[in-house]
Every structure is written in C-alpha cells, then in structure tokens.
Amino acid sequence: MLEIEIKVRVPDIKAVREQVIASGGVLTETLTEHDSYYNAPHRDFGITDEALRLRETGIKTTVTYKGPKDTILGSKVREELNLDITDPKIFDSIITHLGFVMVAVVQKRREYYQYQDFTISLDQVEGLGNFVEIELISDSNAEMAAARVDETAIKMGVTGERITLSYLELLLSTR
C-alpha cells in the first residue's frame, strides 16, 4: 500500500476544522499519540529515509515501517506497513536486544476526520505547532491519488508551504 499525503503548517487549526466539517468531513476520533522512533543497527534510517515507529494511543499500539519518500505533484508518497501489537514494552525489549535504538519521541494531539476516502488529520504537535495532513491510501495510480489530494486540499482551504519532512525530522532539526 502507498500512503499519499500532504502536510501543511497552519496558523489557525480552528478555521481548517470548520471548513472540513462544513465540507462533510466527520470526526472519527481524537487521540493523544505517543510515537517512539527507532534506528537500526545495520543501517541509518536517517540516511536511507526510512522510519520504524511504535505508536501508542491508549486505545491501541501499532508498529509502522515507512519506506523512503518520493514526491509526486507536491504530495509525499511512501510505502507504509502497519502491525497492531498488544504489548509495547515487549516490542521495545525485543528490538532493543536486537540493537535498535530509540532516537526520539513525538507527542501530538490528533483529530481524525473522514472525508470520502481521505483521512484528514488536524495535529497539535508538541514543540512544533499546528499542522493539517490530508492522506489517501492507494495501491494503484499514485499520480491520480496525488491529484485528488491536491483537489481536496483546495476544497478544505489548506494552503501554504507543503512540508515533506516527517514530524520526527522536524523535531530533530530543532535540536
């Protein structure tokens, strides 16, 4: 599966929320996400542009691998594989024993909205500010999906500089 998304820093998350709701977006959940990122002992994910993330929400825990990023029509495109797990401490223990090292933690409050087949996330990221992500998961034409993401961004009034860096990369760049 491919994740096609845009991320835009926004000064007023409330205005975007109002537009998403007015356009028919439905709030599906609001979560505090605690994302722990790991680096591998056999290659540096910062160099290979990969990510291994453990996400804890209090409701569920998911391990995610993200492949190297590509950009199509201003959208970030990358392979994403997810696995739900039951015990984050055991996962941490296993990969730490294998030589993986936790490099950073990203905390955010995220509102998930469903709009058609898009997920729109309104994020308040600790230490970084407010962002909107518009995401589409596709297993086919990435260019067509990126064009659809663009159209949805325009409809939602999400303008401004598109950020292709992950929250992890943004956080590490402020250190």
Of 108, 154, 105, 106, the closest CA to residue 134 belongs to 154
pLDDT digit of tens for each residue in the chain (175 aa)? Answer: 788 899 999 988 999 999 999 999 999 999 999 999 999 999 999 999 999 999 999 999 999 999 998 887 778 888 899 999 999 999 999 999 999 999 999 999 999 999 999 999 999 999 999 999 999 988 778 888 888 999 999 999 898 888 988 999 999 988 7
Q: What's the pTM?
A: 0.87
Inter-CA distances, 2 with 10, 77, 146, Å = 25, 7, 11
Enzyme catalytic residues: 37
Of 52, 39, 27, the closest CA to residue 122 belongs to 27
| Contact present, 6 and 76 (Cβ < 8 Å) | yes
| Contact present, 4 and 149 (Cβ < 8 Å) | yes
